[in-house]
Structure 1
Amino acid sequence: MEIRKKRRICLVVAYDGTNYQGWQIQQNGNTIEAELNRALSALTKEPIEVSGASRTDSGVHARCNYAVFDTAVRMPGDKFSYALNQRLPEDIRVRKSYEVSPDWHPRKCSSKKTYEYRIFNDEFPDPLCRLYTHFTYTKLDTDRMNTAAGYLIGEHDFKSFCSIHTQTETTVRTITDLSVKKEGSLITIRVTGTGFLYNMVRIIAGTLIEVGNGKYPPEHIKEILQHCDRSCAGPTAPARGLTLVEYEFL
């Protein structure tokens, strides 16, 4: 009996996270990882378990999350995307697939990730934006938000900006870019960094919203960082406004 050597395939995955309990397999509902495992196992006739780069939370979206899996199937790496997209639900799509070295893993590589948090700021919500933006009718001052964002750029201890349930050796992270832009009723918070803590981007968004609505001045961000206390920062903004938009390997 021929024993085929395992190969490692990388997938670039886009998804609408509305109907899923995040990326990672959960006991309480369906996930992106579970759907990929199901489709891949059916395709390869092997028990497949993917390993993802970013474990996005329930309701969070992505344009370019990365995942790898091992298989003995001889299908060319770039053909997996075509075969998988015929088996996946419409709110999950593999944008690209290719073979990588057997020891390559996206979480072991130096990288930069970019997230966008979108806010629909108007008198009334837009039903066509409801799944991908957080709505607030309170007028937000984006100049104040941009000033506040500047204090978060660089290497800092972001303990105030992560969930109290975060399990990590250090809460020090580096944000390389953070901006707030407004086009019509849409405000976009765009943040790039080399790594993020659990709920970090959503807490940053919630805090910048409070600066924008006048709860405290932009300079207060410095004090929030110094306190290293989750209770000092703003609320965790709803998941639906958050999308992983870029993933760059360094």
Structure 2
Amino acid sequence: MAKAESTARTNVDCLNVDFMRSLVKQYSELGQWTSAFFWADAAAASSESAVASGDDIWLLASAMLARGELHRAAHAVTSRGLHRRHLLCLGVAMRAYIAAKEPATTLSILEECEPSLLEPRSMDQTHNRALAGVLVWQARALSSLERREAAAEALTAALRADCACYEALDLLLEQHALTPSQESELIESLPINNQMSASEAALLRAAYRERLRRYAPLPPAEPDDTVRAPTYTHTHTYIQGKVQKFVEWRGWSGDMGARLVPY
């Protein structure tokens, strides 16, 4: 009987935690971060194990970050060592330190991460998307420290890990890290076909090519000898002729006509 009650209580607790997690996600999508934080904190505290799961801490830290509690969000992750073994937690801690204008600390916690966690996985695009986010934040930290070449390498790696990570492409173009021909070569070299269907790949390539075309620098305009700006002399002569015709039409003469005609 006691065992049955214990099992029932465990099932209820699991349902309660799942319900709280769903509330966190719903309120996060709505931008209601105080509600999201409350339920994320409750879910982390009610976790079945003695230690809250990485996913629960990620939800909690994300809500803290959205509320502007930057160091508290980072501490929720780093105090549990989750930045070393949980990619989403690493990402939210890096975002918090970037927002706090601490790029060196951002790179420091990245260096503590398990190397295997920073490798793309051919059969796990969810992991690759999280990895691309981490690499983008690494690039932002490197740019803040004036390490432009390293930042460009991180952004290129982010695009290869997740070809749909437009933020990486946008930052590359914004920083003018590549020439127009290098930008086109990069788009063509991405493993797009390995990450999505043929129709999805065609859409992504078309969108990226349009992005490159729309924001490409305009070629210098060639001088056109057939169009010349009017000079003062030409303009003055034109006005003088018009006024002279008006004077003649009105039949004015003498001082009146002389005063009207410009010389």
- Pick the TM interval, shorter chain: under 0.3
Normalised by the length of structure 1, the TM-score is 0.22
Larger Rg: 2
TM-score (normalizing by structure 2)? 0.21
More helix by share: 2
Indicate the structure whose relative CO is greater, using CA pairs within 8 Å and at least 6 residues apart: 1
